[in-house]
Structure 1
Amino acid sequence: MPTLRQQETRTTAIRWSALPVEISVAEIGGGRDPHEVAVLHCAAGRLAELFGARRVAAAAAPPPCGRYWIPSSTLSRREAAALGISDGSQLWGGIVPAGYVATKLVSHPRSGRRAAAPKGWIDIIGLEDCTLPGWSVFSRADALAAGAELLRGGPVRVKPPRERGGRGQRVVRSEEELGNWLDAASPRVLEEGLVLERDLVESTTYSVGFSVLPGGHRIAYVGTQRTVITPQGVAAYGGSRLEVVRGTFADLEATLRPGKPRAAVQAASRYDAVIRHAYGVVATRCNYDVIAGVDRLGRRHLGVLEQSWRFGGASMAELLAIERFTRMPGLQRVVAETVETFAGERVPAEAVMAWRGDARSPCKYARIVEEASAGMAA
C-alpha cells in the first residue's frame, strides 16, 4: 500500500499532467492600465488554444478543479485560496505568504538584528552573493544608518519597493541629501519600507527566468531589455529580447558561453533557490532582473535587482516560445521578443499584436525572431 507521501506525490504529478479545462484572468488589486489588461486577455486566449480549454469570465464561481488562472499580480495565500488555487498547477504566476515578499525588499537583509522589520521577515544568509550591496529599511533611523554605511563606498540608489520601471527612485550622494529626501517623503513610504542599494553608472540589465505550464511545458531564458522614451519624455520599459530553451536554468546555463549572460543566469538561479525556499513561495512564472555594471569607483558588480512572480512584460515572448516548441518537438532553442513602442514603427507581419497603442499607451507586440542563435555573447 502506498504511503501518504507517495499518494501526495502521485496526486501532484496527475495535476501537472492534466490540462486545464477553463482559463481565466484574475485582475488583482486594480490600478492596471487598459493596455496591461488587454495583454493579459490576449495571453489567456492563446493559453486556451494551447490547452484546448474554454475562456471564462473571472467573475464566474471557481469550479472544484480544472480552472487555470493568469493573475495580474502575485497572489497572497488568502487571494489564492479565494480563487480555489491549491498549488502551482492552477496558475501562471506566484503565491507569497506576505505582500512584501513580492517586492524588491526581499533582495536585501536588514542593516542589523535590531532594525525594524515586518512580521515574518527573514534575513537570508548568503543572499549577498547574488545581489548588489544594499539594505532594506523600515524606519528613518535605520535608513540613515544603513545609508551612511553604503555612502562610504559611493552614491546610493533609494528605491520604493512597490514601484515598477524605475519610478520614484532617487540617487543620493551624501547623508545630508538622504536625510532631506526622507524628510520630504510621506510617512507611508517608510511604513512600506525602502531599498538602499549601490548605484551603478554603467550597466546592462538582463531578464532571466522560467515558466512551467501544465502538460509538461517548461522553458528557461535569458535576454536583455530595451528602453523607450514616452511622449512625456520619460524613459520606460520598451520590451525584452529572450533566448529561450526547453527545460530549466541548468539546461539554459549549459547552452551559454562564459560571460555576463551566463553569470546572470547563475545569479538568478541562486536567488530563486534561496528566496523561494526561505519564504515558501509557489511560482510557475519567475522573472529576475539581473544587473551587471560598474559603480563610480570603478568596481564591478553583478546581482539580482528584483523578482517578478506574475505575468510581466516578457510573458508574451515566453508564451510564443512555448507554442513554437509545442509545434516543433525537435526544436531546442528560439529567440523571442516583446516590443513596446511609441515611435509608430512598422509592426512585423509575423508579430502577434496584443495592443495597438494610442496617444498615451504604447503599441505592444511579440514575435519569434527567426534567425538562429548560437548562444548569447558576453
Structure 2
Amino acid sequence: MCNHGRKETETLGTGTDAVVVVYPGRDPGPEHERITHQELARRIARLQNLEFGGEYVPGKYHRPLYLVPRESITTLSEAQKLGINDEQDLFGGVVPYPFVASKAISHPLVSASATAPEGWVRDFAEEVRDAVLPGFTAFSLADAYTAGLRLLDLGPVRVKTVRATAGRGQARISTSDELSHYLDCQDQSEIANHGLVLEQHLEDLTTFSVGQVRLGKLTVSYYGTQRLTRDNSGEEVYGGSDLTVARGNFDALLALDLAADAKLAVAQAQQYDRAANTCYQDFFASRRNYDIARGAAPGGDTRSGVLEQSWRIGGASSAEIAALEAFQADPSLAAICTSSLEVFGAHVQVPPEAEILYQGEDPDLGYMTKCVITRPYG
C-alpha cells in the first residue's frame, strides 16, 4: 500500500486582488494552443472576478497570481517560486517529479532491477492494476525490449513516446522484429529521461474522458467520449470531446443516468486519482482529466483501462470552462452537455451554434479551427 500521502498544508488561496496569467513554462507550445489558452484564461479570470494579465512576465508582479500553466508544474521548487501553495492558485496541477505528470506512471516497470527515475513509487502500479490496461513503462531500451516481448505474448502492443500528445507518437507492434526495428529508431536519452510506454493494443477503441475541475467555490465532474479527426497531413489525431458535466463531485456525476461502460470508466478514473493522491507526496491539482480506453483485446474480450492523466489545461478544457460558465450563470442547473471541437482545413464547416476560440493558419499544423458548443442535458 502507498504511504506517501500529501502533507497537509494551510489553504492560502489567491485572494480577490490576484491576477490571472498564462504560464508557458519552458515550452510555449504551438500558436493555436497559445491563442486558445489565452482566451480560456481570460474566461477563468472572469469566472473568479479577477483581472486577466495575459502571459506571465518574470519579475513583473507585486500581487498574488492565479496561474494557467501550459503544462503541469513539475517541481515543488518551481511551484514555490511562482507562489503556488495549493489548488486554489492555479488551473492545473503540481507534481514532485516530471515523470509523475506523464503517462509513464500508468504502468509498472518490467522487473525489480529495471531502470527507474528518482522518486519512482513502485506501489502506484499495484494501486491502479485493476484500472489500467496490461502494460509496462521502460526507461531504457533493454527494459523496453524485455517488456515488449512479454506483452507480445498477449497479442499486438501499442508503444507510445511519453511526451507526444493528441494521439501522435504511437506505433502498433505485432512481432519481435517490429519491436527491434522500432526501438532501434528511438532516442536513448529521450527514453532515459522521460520513459516509453508499452501496453496491450485494443481494436474498435472508444476513448472516454473523465474528469473534475475545482475553480473557486465551483466543482464540476464529467464523463464523455473523445472524437478523432484527420489533420492536414492525413494523420488521425484528437478532434475534441463530448462531455456530460454534473455540478459537484464524482458522486453527483454517478447519480446521473449513466450507461454501464461510462460508470466503469468513472470508477477507474477515481481509482487512478486516489492512487495519485496517496502515492505521490505533495501532488495537488484543480484540473484532473483521465483518458480511459475501452475496446476489444485479442480473442474478443472487452477491456477498459486508464491510458493517462492530464493535470493541466487540455483539449477538453474549453468544454469544462463552458460548463463552469453555465453553472455560475444558473445556480439551479445540475447538469449540462458541452463539446470541444478541433477540425482541420480551410473549408470545413463548423456547427452554427459553435463558439470559435481559434481559427487560422497555425505555422506547424496548417489551417485549423477550435470551438466549443453548449447544449442542455437530457
Q: TM-score, normalised by structure 2?
A: 0.90
Q: 1:41 aligns with which of 38, 41, 51?
A: 38
Question: In the TM superposition, what are the counterparts of 1:200-219 in structure 2 within 5 Å?
Answer: 200-214=202-216, 216-219=217-220
Q: How does 1:58-73 map to 2 (within 5 A)?
A: 58-59=56-57, 61=59, 66-73=64-71
8 A Cα contact 1:154 1:297, kept in partner: no
SS in 1 for 2:255: helix
Change (3 A) 1:286 1:62: farther
CA contact (8 A) 1:156 1:196 kept: yes
Note the alpha carbon deviations across 1:32-80, whole angstroms, 9 max, x for none: 1111011111012112222221112411537576421100110022221
Q: Aligned partners of 2:17 and 2:350: how far apart in 1?
A: 32
Q: Which amino acid aligns with 1:221?
A: Y
**2:97 alignment partner in structure 1:** 98
Distance 1:62 1:209 in 2: 34
Q: Which runs of 5+ in 1 are unaligned?
A: 1-7, 374-378
Q: Where do 1:184-195 residues align within 5 Å?
A: 184-191=185-192, 192-195=194-197
Say which SS state the counterpart of residue 169 (structure 2) adopts. Answer: coil
Q: CA deviation at 1:15?
A: 2.9
Name 1:79's counterpart in structure 2: 78
Asked if 2 retains the 8 angstrom alpha-carbon contact of 1:21 and 1:52, the reply is no
Structure-1 separation of matches of 2:360 and 2:28: 18
Alignment length, in residue pairs?
361
In 2, Cα distance between equivalents of 1:48 and 1:190: 38
Identity of aligned residues (%): 36
Residues 205-225 of structure 1 deviation map (CA, whole Å, 9 limit, x = unaligned): 0011010011x1100000111
Deviation per CA, 1:303-345: give whole Å up to 9, x if none. Answer: 0000000000110111111111111111100000111112534
**Alignment check: 8 A CA contact 1:62 1:83 kept:** no
Structure 1 pair 65/109, CA: closer, same or farther in 2 (3 Å)?
farther
- Give secondary structure in 2 for the equivalent of 1:56: strand
Distance 1:98 1:316, change over 3 A: same
- Paired residue for 1:135? 136
AA of the residue aligned to 2:225: T
Provide the residue aligned with 1:196 in structure 2.
Answer: 198
2:26 to 20, 26, 29: 29
CA contact (8 A) 1:292 1:300 kept: yes
**Structure 2: how far apart are the matches of 1:332 and 1:31?**
36
Letter in 2 for 1:95: V
Mapped partners of 2:359, 2:43: distance in 1: 18
- In structure 2, C-alpha distance between the alignment counterparts of 1:201 and 1:139, rounded to whole Å: 28
Question: 2:89, 2:60 → 1: CA distance?
Answer: 11
The change in CA–CA distance for 1:326 and 1:107 in structure 2 (over 3 A counts) is: same
Supply the distance in 1 between the matched residues of 2:115 and 2:286 (Cα, whole angstroms).
Answer: 31
Separation in 2 of the partners of 1:248 and 1:163? 30
Give the one of 343, 350, 355 matched to 1:352: 355
Choose from 310, 313, 316 the match for 2:315: 313
Structure 1 residue 362 corresponds to structure 2 residue 363: no
Partner of 1:5: none
| 1:256/1:262 contact within 8 Å kept | no
Matching residue of 1:15: 13
Q: Deviations over 1:245-273 (max 9, x none)?
A: 01111221121334111110010010011
1:220 counterpart residue number = 221
The residue number in structure 1 matching 2:3 is: none
How far is 1:349 from its partner? 4.9
